Amino acid sequence: MKFIETPLSGLYVVEPEPNYDHRGFFARAFCAREFQALGLEPTVAQTNISFSEKAGTVRGMHFQVAPHMETKLIRCTRGAVYDVVVDIRSDSPTYLKWYAVELTQDNRRMIFVPRGFAQGLQTLVDKTEVFYIMSEFYHPESQRGLRWDDPALGISWPLGNPITSDWDRSHALLDKRQKLESC
C-alpha cells in the first residue's frame, strides 16, 4: 500500500499497489503493521456500509467525541464519492481546514481519517456504496456532526441541490472562534 500524506497532519490517502497477472490483480487493502509503522491506529472494532440511491447525496460531516473518538478507513466499492474531512482538533494549526479526495470503484483509493476529524461525502453517481472500517463501536451518545454547508468551513461540494438527512441539516452553524467539544 502507498500512504500519501495530505496537508492535514495524520490524514492519509491510501492507494493499493496491485500485483497483476493474467487473472487480474491482488492487492492488500489493510495491513496493521503498515499502519502502525506510520503511527496510525490499526484497531478494527466494526465495519459499516452505506448505500446511496441517487447522485448528490451528502452524508456528513460526522464524528464521535471522547471517550469514543474513532478512526476510519473509507473506500468506495461501487460508484464514486467526493470525500471531505475537516480537522476539528482545537489545538491544531489546521483547525477547521478541510481536505477532499475523490474515491471511486475504479481508483480503489481509501482515506484514513484519524481521531479528531469530521468526515462526510457526496455521491457523484447513482447507486453508490461505501465501505468503512471503524476503530470504535458506534455510541449514539457520542455522535456529533457539523453542517455540510457551514459557511465557516467553506466546503466546495461538486454537485448542487444535495439530498441530506434531517439530522445532517439540524446541526448549528459554527463560529470559527468556538472550540468543538472533546476534540
CA-CA distance, 81 to 51, in Å (whole number)? 11
Mean pLDDT of the region 158-182: 84
- From the candidates 12, 22, 62, 139, give the one annotated as an active-site residue: 62
Which residue type is seen at 98? W
pTM of the predicted protein model:
0.93
The verdict on domain 43-169 having CATH code 3.40.50.300 is: no
Range in 37-41, 57-61, 65-69, 176-180 the model is least confident about = 176-180
CA-CA distance, 132 to 93, in Å (whole number)? 27
Domain boundaries, the chain: 43-169
Q: Which residue has the higher pLDDT, 63 or 182?
A: 63
Mean pLDDT of the region 129-154: 96
Tell me whether residue 132 is one of the annotated catalytic residues: yes
User: Is residue 127's pLDDT more than 70?
Assistant: yes
What is the structure's pLDDT at 175?
A: 78
The answer to whether 119 and 146 are in contact (CB under 8 A) is no
Least Cα distance to 52 among 176, 168, 170 occurs for: 168
What is the structure's pLDDT at 129?
A: 98
Mean pLDDT of the region 98-120: 98
- From the candidates 12, 99, 132, 138, give the one annotated as an active-site residue: 132
pLDDT 10s digits, 1-15: 999 999 999 999 999
The answer to whether 137 and 46 are in contact (CB under 8 A) is yes
Mean pLDDT of the region 144-159: 96
What is the structure's pLDDT at 177?
A: 56
Sign of the CA dihedral running 135, 140, 141, 146: positive
Least Cα distance to 164 among 53, 48, 56, 51 occurs for: 56
DSSP three-state, residue 168: helix
Tell me whether residue 62 is one of the annotated catalytic residues: yes
User: Is residue 176's pLDDT more than 80?
Assistant: no
pLDDT 10s digits, 59-71: 999 999 999 999 9
Place of cell 493499493: 16
